[in-house]
């Protein structure tokens, strides 16, 4: 858990694939939305992470053609689960997302704080 002044490793969870119909442009827009939140977290002293930052390169290395193929699925959700074993908290951004909801469920199961507003993250007020 967090001690005062200790930077947090924060998983940013929100819509990536949900509602896109697997349109790569819409998915890229969603990733950009997640990444925009990473900058203020970093500037506040934390280390933000987004599951797709790990899952997408892994999928490309094994020949994934994109969302929904078996190689994509091999990494997409398991990466977040493994990241959560190392994270100190989750920041859940608005929007429908089964994957992000699963991240929240796992975080709570593991006793991690879940924030729903950037301003609620320690050091952001």
- How many residues are there in the chain? 125
Tell me whether residue 123 is in a domain.
Answer: no
Q: Which domain holds residue 60?
A: 10-118
Query: Would you state the pLDDT for residue 77?
Result: 87
Tell me whether residue 4 is in a domain.
Answer: no
The CATH number of the domain where 84 resides is what?
3.40.50.10400
Q: How far is CA 86 from the centre of its chain?
A: 13
The answer to whether residues 118 and 37 touch, using CB atoms and an 8 Å cutoff, is yes
pTM value? 0.92
Average pLDDT rounded to a whole number, residues 14-23: 94
Average pLDDT rounded to a whole number, residues 102-120: 97
Give, rounded to a whole angstrom, the gap between the first and last alpha carbons of the chain.
Answer: 20
pLDDT tens column, 36-61: 999 999 999 999 999 999 999 999 99
Name the average pLDDT for the chain: 93
Tell me whether residue 33 is in a domain.
Answer: yes
Average pLDDT rounded to a whole number, residues 32-39: 97
| pLDDT above 70 for 3 | no
């Amino acid at each position: 858990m967090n001690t005062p002044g200790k930077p947090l490793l924060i998983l940013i969870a929100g819509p990536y694939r949900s509602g896109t119909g697997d349109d790569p442009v819409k998915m890229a827009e969603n990733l950009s939305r997640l990444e925009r939140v990473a900058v203020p977290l970093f500037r506040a002293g934390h280390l933000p992470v987004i599951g797709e930052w790990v899952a997408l390169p892994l999928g490309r290395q094994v020949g994934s053609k994109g969302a929904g193929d078996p190689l994509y699925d091999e990494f997409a959700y398991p990466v977040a689960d493994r990241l959560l074993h190392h994270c100190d908290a989750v920041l859940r951004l608005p929007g429908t997302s089964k994957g992000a909801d699963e991240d929240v469920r796992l975080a709570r199961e593991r006793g991690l704080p879940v924030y729903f507003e950037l301003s609620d993250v320690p050091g952001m007020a």
